[in-house]
Chains A and B, each alone.
Chain A
Amino acid sequence: MSADYAAIAPPSARRVRWSLDHADFLGSLLVAPAVLFILCLVAVPFFLAIYYSLSAYNMGTLSFSFVGLDNFIAVTKSEIFRRSLMNTLLFTVASNLIALVLGKIAALLLLREFRGRTVVRCLLILPWAVPVALAAITWRWMLDSMYSVINWVLVHSHLVPAYVWPNWLGEEGLAMISIIVIQAWRLFPFSAIIFLAGLTSVPKTIVDAAYVDGAGYWRRTFQIVLPVILPIMMVAMLFGLVFTFTDMSVVYLVTKGGPTNSTQVLGSLAFQVGILSGDVGRGAAISLYFFPFLLVATYFLLRYLRRREI
């Protein structure tokens, strides 16, 4: 491209020049730092986690010894683990479903032009924008056993009698409902904006053409709009599922897994066993139960990422 310059430059400079002009080489060079970082701090730790899960590694003794699948067997047999697994599934599916429905409603509402729409959108985004730790601590105060504002409303609208109001975070079923609602609250703005972006990106000409051809509302929705926005919706939904399934923030901050493990999820259990109790081997074994789930999610993600047209 700049042959004149290359001809008069000294040989070493020419070599540098050549390599920087060679797309393949330069391409690898530019991507290398990112790949190296990920290899060192994601891939290596991942294999380290597998190694830990196969050994009796304890913070207290600091001794490694290979124990095969003992950790996995012990973990799988434990009552708390099975309960956590079921809790995690319930927590994930329920909160994502609610978020999806609310997100869809919010998107449909925001699709209309009305006065104050920008302000409404700003307010609806808040739950997703704010750091989970700050939001969770606020919910904890709203669900306080004594001064819960929600209970105040319930009492004063005579739905529950005074002083026997529900103890949201202190009773098993209620605690689970609470963390599901909080997680749905965090997630629904994300699903709303993805829905909204999807809906507004469907070319109006296609929808109009279908309308002229006599397609009714449902037909337009399911056969025209949905197929176009499906890939990106699926990507967003899979992300929501993965983040909820592997998360422990809301649980740790609001209930700490209690009362009596009724809201314990896999993430918080791994934290408790691996970090707080120092049984790294078992903790790693619990964490690795995420892996098959991640694989399945990855498979579907790849399918939809490649099919993504909008």
Chain B
Amino acid sequence: MLRNFWKESGFVAALVGLLVFAAFPFYWMVITAFKRDSDLYNLDYNPFVFNEPPTLEHVNLLFNQTAFVRWVENSLIIGIAVVAITLVTAIPAGYSLARMGGRKAEGLGIGIFLTYLVPPTLLFLPLARVISLAGLQDSLWSLVLVYPTFTIPFCTWLMMGFFKSVPRAIEEAAIVDGCSLLGAFVKVILPVSLPGILTVVIFTFTLTMQEFIYALTFISTESQVPVTLGVATDLVRGDIFYWGSLMAAALIASVPFAILYNLFLDRFIMGITGGAMK
């Protein structure tokens, strides 16, 4: 009995500790975003609760006096464009690597996956040159050009895993019925792979929204930055941090990620482990 009690207490203590560590910054975003300045910057108050009535002034400031809405739009444009580029390249590549070419394809697949490891901090100098040669400096389209360098390797790997889990018999039946190889892929395999494709869309989108280093390097015009860069750099005026609106922005921009990741986590795990782990 006693031993069980200690075991239970240990379990609960570890769980609570870990939860506080993981989630406290988000609680902190919420409470800061809706606190009055006079409440925020008063050392005598208990910072965990509202000592004065909550306010929407920070949110108002964010939407009416900063380019926050524009940044969100920029992020959406970048995200959608990169998703499109990634889909038309990674889906065929993943299929080809999963089904055609045997061992050679296996090696090429791993090779493509490994380019995901080449970090922005190694490529940003030459890519800055490429961007300026293409006339895209200070434009959000520079990110549309560069982001596929990491979304394509990642998504090709994901799609390869998904296609491997589709039974070969499906294509064989289609081919026997008179489909070409390409026809079987487009008309038969793609429709049954919709869940995998949806996963690729979601993760490409979140990867582009999370990137920070390339955006910081290539874009300095306030009207062109994506939302993460805008919040982290342009909301800070000189050395002054408007913590209320900063946290409101961080909160609003974080919510979609929290939802998407939790909805698609299982698919993501399946994808990254090569589709073999059920």
Q: Which of B22, B93, B124, B253 contacts A131 (CB 8 A)?
A: B253
* Contact between B100 and A27, CB atoms less than 8 A apart: yes
* Contact between B127 and A124, CB atoms less than 8 A apart: no
Name the CB-closest residue of B to A43: B115
* Contact between B23 and A126, CB atoms less than 8 A apart: yes
* Contact between A34 and B89, CB atoms less than 8 A apart: yes
Beyond A41-B146, A301-B114, whether A123 also contacts B19 by CB under 8 A is yes
* Contact between A270 and B89, CB atoms less than 8 A apart: no
Report the Cα distance A24→B133, complex, angstroms.
Answer: 36
Beyond A102-B18, A130-B258, whether A270 also contacts B96 by CB under 8 A is no
Q: Which of A41, A201, A253 contacts B148 (CB 8 A)?
A: A41
B15 within 8 A of partner (CB): yes
Report the Cα distance A309→B276, complex, angstroms.
Answer: 8
* Contact between A137 and B231, CB atoms less than 8 A apart: yes
B278 within 8 A of partner (CB): yes
A contact set with B: CB distance below 8 Å? 1-2, 5, 17, 20-24, 26-31, 33-35, 37-38, 41-42, 44-46, 48-49, 52, 102, 105-106, 109, 112, 120-142, 144, 146-147, 149, 152, 185, 188-189, 193-194, 197-198, 201, 232, 239, 242-243, 246-249, 252-253, 266-267, 270-271, 274-275, 280, 283-284, 287-288, 290-291, 294, 297-298, 301-302, 305, 308-310
B contact set with A: CB distance below 8 Å? 11, 14-15, 18-19, 21-26, 28-29, 32, 40-41, 43, 47-48, 88-90, 92-93, 95-97, 99-101, 105, 108, 110, 112-115, 117-130, 145-146, 148-149, 152-153, 156, 175-176, 178, 180-182, 185, 206, 209-210, 212-213, 216-217, 228-229, 231-232, 241, 243, 246-247, 249-250, 253-254, 257-258, 260-262, 265, 269, 272-274, 276-278
* Contact between A46 and B118, CB atoms less than 8 A apart: yes
- In the assembled complex, which residues on chain A have CB atoms less than 8 Å from the CB atom of B48? 149
Report the Cα distance A49→B129, complex, angstroms.
Answer: 10
CB distance from B97 to the nearest CB of A (A): 6
* Contact between A26 and B122, CB atoms less than 8 A apart: no
Name the CB-closest residue of B to A184: B21
* Contact between B101 and A23, CB atoms less than 8 A apart: yes
- In the assembled complex, which residues on chain A have CB atoms less than 8 Å from the CB atom of B23? 123-124, 126
* Contact between A136 and B100, CB atoms less than 8 A apart: no
- In the assembled complex, which residues on chain A have CB atoms less than 8 Å from the CB atom of B217? 271, 275
Name the CB-closest residue of B to A47: B126
* Contact between A33 and B112, CB atoms less than 8 A apart: no
Report the Cα distance A243→B120, complex, angstroms.
Answer: 10
* Contact between A193 and B232, CB atoms less than 8 A apart: no
* Contact between B277 and A189, CB atoms less than 8 A apart: no
* Contact between B216 and A124, CB atoms less than 8 A apart: no
In the assembled complex, 12 residue pairs joining A and B whose CB atoms fall closer than 8 Å, in A order, are A1-B180, A5-B178, A22-B181, A27-B99, A46-B126, A130-B254, A133-B229, A134-B228, A138-B29, A140-B241, A267-B213, A310-B276
Report the Cα distance A133→B188, complex, angstroms.
Answer: 41
Name the CB-closest residue of A to B20: A123
* Contact between B90 and A34, CB atoms less than 8 A apart: yes
Name the CB-closest residue of A to B263: A122
Task: List 7 additional contacts besides A20-B180, A120-B19, A267-B213; criterion CB under 8 Å.
Answer: A26-B96, A42-B115, A49-B123, A130-B254, A131-B257, A141-B241, A246-B121
- In the assembled complex, which residues on chain A have CB atoms less than 8 Å from the CB atom of B210? 131-132
Beyond A42-B115, A138-B247, A287-B125, whether A147 also contacts B47 by CB under 8 A is yes
Beyond A23-B100, A24-B101, A122-B262, whether A105 also contacts B89 by CB under 8 A is no
CB distance from A24 to the nearest CB of B (A): 7
Q: Which of A49, A109, A152 contacts B122 (CB 8 A)?
A: A49
A22, A125, A129, A185 interface centre (most CB from chain B within 10 Å): A129
- In the assembled complex, which residues on chain B have CB atoms less than 8 Å from the CB atom of A105? 14, 18
* Contact between B40 and A112, CB atoms less than 8 A apart: no
- In the assembled complex, which residues on chain B have CB atoms less than 8 Å from the CB atom of A123? 19, 22-23
* Contact between A31 and B123, CB atoms less than 8 A apart: no
Beyond A123-B22, A149-B28, whether A45 also contacts B114 by CB under 8 A is no
A33, A48, A102, A130 interface centre (most CB from chain B within 10 Å): A130
- In the assembled complex, which residues on chain A have CB atoms less than 8 Å from the CB atom of B90? 34
- In the assembled complex, which residues on chain B have CB atoms less than 8 Å from the CB atom of A242? 117, 119
* Contact between B15 and A109, CB atoms less than 8 A apart: yes
- In the assembled complex, which residues on chain B have CB atoms less than 8 Å from the CB atom of A253? 212, 232
Name the CB-closest residue of A to B255: A130
B19, B100, B129, B278 interface centre (most CB from chain A within 10 Å): B100
Name the CB-closest residue of B to A59: B128
* Contact between A30 and B25, CB atoms less than 8 A apart: no
